[in-house]
A and B are shown apart, each in its own frame.
Chain A
Amino acid sequence: MGKKFIKFEFLLLFAVFIIATCGLVYELVAGTLASYLLGDSVKQFSFIIGVYLFSMGIGSFFSKFFNKNLLNTFVEIEILVGLIGGLSSVILFLLFESVGSFQLILYLLVFVTGFLVGLEIPLLMNILKDKVEFKDLVSNVFTFDYIGALLASILFPLILVPKLGIMGTSLFFGMINISIAIVLCFLLKSELKRSYFLKVKAIFSFLLLLTVFIFSENILSYSEGKLYGENIIYTHSTPYQRIVLTHNKSDYRLYLNNNLQFSSADEYRYHEALVHPVMSIAKNVSHVLVLGGGDGLAVREILKYKNVKTVTLVDLDQGMTKLFETNKVLTDLNGNSLNNPKVTVINTDAYIWAKSCKVKFDVAIIDFPDPSNYSLGKLYSLNFYQTVQRILQPDAAVVIQTTSPYFAPKSFWCINKTVMAVFPQVDAYHAYVPSFGEWGFTIAINGFNTTFNTVNRQASGLKFYNYQFDRYNYFTKDMISNEIEINRLDNQILVRYFDEEW
């Protein structure tokens, strides 16, 4: 009797240990996921820990209403915790995009898990109270409880998340949780009532989690796909950005760090508007410089002019230019422009490169990402435009992607005003690109021997631009902003405007 009982107590204490480990893992998963999806990690973690502990307290309170079949209840709860905790991260991942009240579901799941874990300890103590001396019981239960917590909190950041990912971790621990229930079912079948029924439930739950675990990779890409709302055909992370290419009917879309770069359906509008005004206004177009624009779509437009001798493209990200030099879908899109013998691709920091550049260009096309942080903001500063001016021929023309004058008028006119402080002639224009909305550009001439309305040359076969510049440089009232400061490295005012506006 003695031996058998030890086994019984030991088993249940082991169960406590596993419950504690799993419980804390679910809590950490919820916290990590919440800070991952919602940001503000301090707040998320603190709220989740609070709610979890609180719901454990509620669970403990309600445990007193369970009086019959305690062992059965215990095993059932074990299965339930495994199922809910294990699936919690999957549920949260899938619901994030489609549910408005994501936080409500998040805290509901945390609450339910906490509640069930809170039920278990008092339940267990009730089961054991007649068999073990109270002093030993309390000390043993809590010891194992806390050891489990320690183990979970150490394993979670060091091993579990790096190896299994967040979703994998919660599913894995859900399975451990349920396997304990299965083991209990088999070993304590004499003590359990209707153990057969419990066994079936436990094994079924286990298999469910196992299936989800095996397919968790697919779920992850499904949820990313939902984020984009299109089929993802290519993803690639470079040291600088995450490139995602999607395909939907005949439309290809490229996202950099989740920001749409172009849609193949209407990118011609953007790139024609970007390239052809400067190309027709500039005195010469022999040597063209492109800063940014690693997709080669602007280069495709530039190469439509036969008197272009060289195109120098400077883009930081080799991963990006390589992709557009090699991927069949993409080289079809950019007309294989980056492999054209006239084109030289340089993968380096444009600012640093421009500072040390010794040659001069006839046209410069500047197509950088929007100034959404202080690093990118430098590429829109007074000093940067002065640096660019130093590598331009007299009467060279420059165009700068200047974000949307409709969504971000302050940012738009800030860039325009900054360029005005450097170049003798400056204007602004805009075009409608359906996938972007109203989009704008700043254009400048490094001299007075040509004007914005001059058309020195034309390319044939354009679908959008008609070489009538004065049709594009009118701005309605809602796209104008006054009282704007010049963007300098030492104030980076543009990043502040942009942050206000987007």
Chain B
Amino acid sequence: MKNGENYNSSRRSFVKGIAASLLLVPFLQFCTDKIAVLMIRLSGTKHLLGHRLWIKDFPEITSHIQTSYLIVGGGISGLSAARQLTKKGISDFILVELEDHLGGNSSNGENQYSKYPLGAHYLPLPNFQDKELLHFLEEEKIILGYDTKGLPVFDELQLTFAPDERLFYKNSWQEGVVPKEGNTAAEDAELKTFFKQMDFYRSAKGEDGKYLFDIPLALSSADEITRALDQITMKEWFERNNFKSEPLFNYIDYCCKDDFGLGIEYVSAWAGIHYFAGRKQDSSSDKKDSVLTWPEGNARLATHLKKYTKDKVLKNHLVFDLKIENNKVIAKTFDDHKKRTVAIIADKVIMATPQFVNQYIIKDRKEFTKEFHYTPWLLATLVVSDLADNFSFPLSWDNIIYGSKGLGYVYDQHQSVSQLQTKKVITYYYSFSGPDLKKTRKEIYKKKTEYWKQMVFDDLKMAHPDIESVTEEMNVFVLGHGMISPVPGFIFGEAKKQASKNIEKLIYFAHTDLSGISIFEEAFHHGINIVNQILDDTTLDS
């Protein structure tokens, strides 16, 4: 019959021909396209220098500095302490910072198109009772005045522009973060019940007359019933309330990760509810859940605070040992630029550093520090030539992809008043939620740039299939200890109490991890409160 061999060879060469022409396609494409090289960079906090605290191979002391107050750590709590000292008329203080810039988690980067956040990126409208914060915002012209009802008037340019949020859900973008279009009636009903419950918690007060959930967290009620919520995870709470729907579960999971780094399965239910109920939404009559934001994120707020530390900052300095001698504190400090050690002799020390660092600087702190868990974070800032999607809802400030592993992305130029951007800059957020954060952290440090690049692309592809081909630049920023994680039992636990106690009224502790949740308001108040406490203690003593 047929000459099989002959036939097959001709078919083979035919298929080969097709294969060859297919192989040529990308090359043809390559010729027509402008050659776009993806610039990619990986950076993070100075964990390598920080890790030298384990072995402490620092040189001997070669010089001495005297000061009344030493602030260790230039994040928001340290900066806020500097502001409060200044307000109290104290100018003899020094602030020491390990990094080459101030701001901590409120830092930023910048490329030729835009500034972008390297951490926290917004501040919800403050509670009306939080006069300290309102006052600060007024000082910095974020609040421009007060209206006839006595409510603050926020600067239009610093409130998030509309449209502020969109969600990629069921293959199209919809307005807002809560899944709305495409839910079943049962799912909608659950969402409604949930928000009703949160409304209740927002205004509910305990037997002691305090809000059950307040900001700063320390003002919250001591009510035993609500504190029991800190013993279970948010997921257990979800189940105990007979919630079942997937959109609600995903939404809560997103919110928990967004504020605490930990997902619904690992975060304390008290913290989870605090996310919704802590903010009273009472300082604006129409923009209740609005937030303040800037292209550089909360680095803007850090910049406002920095002015109080002018000429009083030692950057690239690492305090590696703290000892009390003759009623003074001696802080051995390594100058990473000059590679030498300075002894700072201070009357009082404010440790605005996280407890995982403090345990290596001050003795006898390892035991309770074990209870402090920190979630790693990853931020990737992308410069894209275009950000086409299916145009179901326009690009917003916060863009969340339902069911994605990350937390979506922020459009960094959203607060620009200009009509068009030649390139768009977006910052993608990812928190490494999980049961064993230490293990996760170790794995993160092993990963290469290429791995993160692919992870970011794969996640964004759900909503932007062509993201890889439109990205021109990517800056990946990894934070090993991104933020304190309120695991069950931590917020009202013993470890937090132990860690907050001052040492002989000489060394005081003010970092946000002592709140159990990492938000600007907590840091801001820690700074103020610690200075007030030191001054109170001093007056009482004298």
B-contacting residues of A (Cβ < 8 Å)? 2-3, 5-6, 10, 14, 41-42, 132, 147, 151, 154-155, 158-159, 162, 239-240, 316, 349, 351-352, 355, 373-379, 381-384, 488-493, 495
Q: Which of B1, B159, B161 gathers most chain A CB within 10 Å?
A: B161
**CB neighbors of A among B412-468 (8 A):** 417-420
For this complex, 10 residue pairs linking A to B, each with C-beta atoms less than 8 Å apart, are: A3-B3, A10-B11, A42-B171, A42-B172, A159-B25, A162-B32, A355-B417, A376-B419, A379-B419, A490-B162
Q: Are B162 and A489 in contact (CB under 8 A)?
A: yes
Partner of A349 from the list B15, B21, B290, B419 (CB cut-off 8 Å) is B419
CA distance A42 to B173 in the complex (A): 13
Tell me the smallest distance from the CB of B82 to a CB of chain A, in Å: 31
Partner among A5, A6, A383 whose Cβ is within 8 Å of the Cβ of B157:
A383
A155 touches B162 (CB 8 A): no
**Which chain A residues lie closer than 8 Å to B287 at the CB level?**
490-491
Say yes or no: B418 contacts A349, CB within 8 Å: yes
Interface string of B479-511 (1 = CB under 8 A from A): 000000000000000000000000000000000
Asked if B341 is at the interface (CB within 8 A of a chain A CB), the reply is: no
A151 touches B22 (CB 8 A): yes
Q: Which of B280-295 contact A (CB under 8 A)?
A: 286-287, 290
Question: Smallest distance from the beta carbon of A474 to chain B beta carbons, Å?
Answer: 32
Residues A316 and B419 in contact, CB atoms below 8 Å apart: yes
Query: For the complex, what is the distance from the CA of A382 to the CA of B153, rounded to whole Å?
Result: 13
Do B420 and A240 touch (CB < 8 A)? Answer: yes
Closest beta carbon of chain B to A394's beta carbon, Å: 22
Bound-state Cα–Cα, A374 to B393, Å: 11
Given the complex of chains A and B, what is the CA–CA distance between A14 and B10 in angstroms?
12
B396 to chain A, nearest CB (A): 9
Bound-complex Cα distance A270 to B354 (A): 66
CA distance A147 to B171 in the complex (A): 29
Chain B, residues 198-219, CB within 8 Å of chain A (1/0): the string is 0000000000000000000000
Q: For residue B391, which residue of chain A has the nearest CB?
A: A39
Q: Which of B160, B171, B417, B419 contacts A490 (CB 8 A)?
A: B160
B29 at the interface (CB under 8 A from A): yes
Tell me the complex Cα distance, A316–B417, Å.
13
Chain B nearest CB from A339 CB (Å) reads 26
Q: Quick check: A41 and B418 within 8 Å, CB to CB?
A: no
B539 within 8 A of partner (CB): no
Cβ contact within 8 Å between A491 and B162: yes
Query: Which B residues lie within 8 Å of A378 (CB)?
Result: 161, 417, 419
Task: Decide yes or no: A6 and B6 within 8 Å by CB, A158-B29, A383-B157, A489-B417 being known contacts.
Answer: yes
Q: Judging by beta carbons under 8 Å apart, are A384 and B390 in contact? A: no
- How far is A41 from B11 in the complex, measured between Cα atoms in Å? 38
Q: Name the residue on B nearest A3 (C-beta).
A: B3
Query: Cβ of A240: which chain B residues have Cβ within 8 Å of it?
Result: 419-420
CA distance A495 to B10 in the complex (A): 63
* Contact assessment for A155 and B15 in the assembled complex, using a CB-CB cutoff below 8 Å: no
**Shortest Cβ gap from A50 to chain B (Å):** 16
**Do B2 and A490 touch across chains, with their CB atoms under 8 A apart?**
no
Question: B59 at interface (Cβ–Cβ under 8 A)?
Answer: no
Whether A492 touches B163, Cβ cut-off 8 Å, given contacts A41-B390, A151-B22, is yes
List, in ascending order, chain A residues with CB within 8 A of B32's CB: 162
Nearest-neighbor residue (CB-CB) of B161 within chain A: A489
Compute how far the CA of A240 lies from the CA of B162 in the bound complex, rounded to whole angstroms: 22
Other 6 A-B pairs with CB < 8 A, given A10-B7, A147-B15, A151-B18:
A3-B6, A6-B7, A14-B14, A41-B390, A158-B29, A381-B156
In whole angstroms, what is the CA distance A132 to B28 when docked?
38
Q: Which residues of B contact A316 (CB under 8 A)?
A: 419-420
Give the complex CA separation of A107 and B28 in angstroms. 34
Contacts of B29 in A (CB 8 A): 158-159
Neighbouring A residues of B162 by C-beta, 8 Å: 374, 377, 489-493, 495
In whole angstroms, what is the CA distance A495 to B393 when docked?
A: 13
Q: Is B394 an interface residue (CB 8 A)?
A: yes
Say yes or no: A375 contacts B390, CB within 8 Å.
Answer: no
Within 8 A of A (CB), among B18-32: 18, 21-22, 25, 28-29, 32
| Contact A375–B420 (Cβ < 8 Å) | yes
Selected contact of B394 from candidates A2, A147, A239, A374, CB within 8 Å:
A374
A162-B32, A374-B394, A490-B159 given; A2·B3 CB < 8 A: yes
Q: How far is the CB of A151 from chain B (nearest CB, A)?
A: 7
Q: Of all chain A residues, which has the CB nearest B396? A: A374
CB distance from B166 to the nearest CB of A (A): 12
Asked if A154 and B394 sit within 8 Å, CB to CB, the answer is no
- Closest Cβ–Cβ distance, residue B417 to chain A (whole Å): 4
Q: Which 3 residue pairs are nearest across A and B when measured between Cβ atoms? A: A492-B162, A490-B159, A351-B417
B417 touches A159 (CB 8 A): no
Tell me the smallest distance from the CB of B90 to a CB of chain A, in Å. 38
Partner of B417 from the list A151, A352, A493 (CB cut-off 8 Å) is A352
Write out the residue numbers on chain A whose beta carbons fall within 8 Å of the beta carbon of B3.
2-3, 6
A10 touches B10 (CB 8 A): yes
Contacts of B172 in A (CB 8 A): 42
Instruction: Answer whether A154 and B7 are a contact pair too, CB < 8 Å, given A2-B2, A381-B156.
Output: no
The minimal Cβ–Cβ distance linking B289 to chain A, given in whole angstroms, is 12
Quick one: given A151-B22, A154-B22, A159-B25, are A383 and B7 in contact (CB under 8 Å)? no
Query: What is the CB-to-nearest-CB distance from A31 to chain B, in angstroms, rounded to a whole number?
Result: 14
Kindly state the separation between the CA atoms of A10 and B11 in the bound complex, as whole angstroms.
8
Q: Tell me, in angstroms, the Cα distance from A492 to B417 when the chains sit together.
A: 12
- Cα(A491)–Cα(B394), bound, Å: 14
Task: Give the CA-CA distance A382 to B160 in the complex, in Å.
Answer: 14
Pair A490/B156 contact, Cβ less than 8 Å:
yes
Asked if B161 contacts A492 (CB within 8 A), the reply is yes
Chain B residues with CB under 8 Å of A492's CB are 161-163
A239 to B423, CA, bound (A): 13
Which A residues lie within 8 Å of B417 (CB)?
Answer: 351-352, 355, 378, 383-384, 489
- Contact between chains at B156 and A489 (CB < 8 Å): yes
Interchain nearest-CB distance for A73 vs B (Å):
25
Q: Which chain B residues lie closer than 8 Å to A10 at the CB level?
A: 7, 10-11
B498 shortest CB reach to chain A, Å: 43
Within the complex, the shortest CB–CB distance from B381 to chain A, in Å, comes to: 22
Residues A154 and B420 in contact, CB atoms below 8 Å apart: no
Interface centre among A162, A381, A382, A491 (most CB of B within 10 A): A491
Chain B hits for A491, CB < 8 A: 162, 286-287
| Chain A residues, CB < 8 A from B14 | 14
Q: How far is the CA of A351 from the CA of B156 in the complex (A)?
A: 14
A42 to B392, CA, bound (A): 11
Q: Smallest distance from the beta carbon of A254 to chain B beta carbons, Å?
A: 20
Are the C-beta atoms of B6 and A374 separated by less than 8 Å? Answer: no
A147 touches which of B2, B18, B28, B160 (Cβ 8 Å): B18
CB–CB B418/A352 < 8 A: yes
Q: Return B20 CB to nearest CB of chain A, in Å.
A: 12
Q: Are B25 and A158 in contact (CB under 8 A)?
A: yes
Q: Name the CB-closest residue of A to B422.
A: A239
CA distance A67 to B192 in the complex (A): 64
- A309 to B229 Cα, complex, angstroms: 73
In the complex, the answer to whether B7 meets A351 with C-beta atoms within 8 Å is no
Q: Give the distance to chain A from B13, nearest Cβ to Cβ, in Å.
A: 11
Closest B residue, CB atoms, query A2 = B3
B157 touches A154 (CB 8 A): no
User: Quick one: given A42-B390, A151-B22, A381-B156, are A351 and B163 in contact (CB under 8 Å)?
Assistant: no
Distance A352 CA – B416 CA, assembled complex (angstroms): 9
Q: Which residues of B contact A489 (CB under 8 A)?
A: 156-157, 159, 161-162, 417
Q: A154: which B residues are within 8 A, CB to CB?
A: 22, 25
Measured CA separation A393–B2 after assembly (Å): 95
Q: A155 to chain B: which residues have CB within 8 Å?
A: 25
**B156 with A488: CB separation less than 8 A:** yes
Chain B residues with Cβ under 8 A from A41's Cβ? 390
Q: How far is the CB of B299 from chain A (nearest CB, A)?
A: 21
Q: Which residue of chain B is the closest to A41 with respect to CB atoms? A: B390
CA distance A495 to B171 in the complex (A): 24
Q: Is the CB of B15 within 8 A of A490?
A: no
B154-189 Cβ-contact flags toward A at 8 Å (1 or 0): 001101111110000001100000000000000000
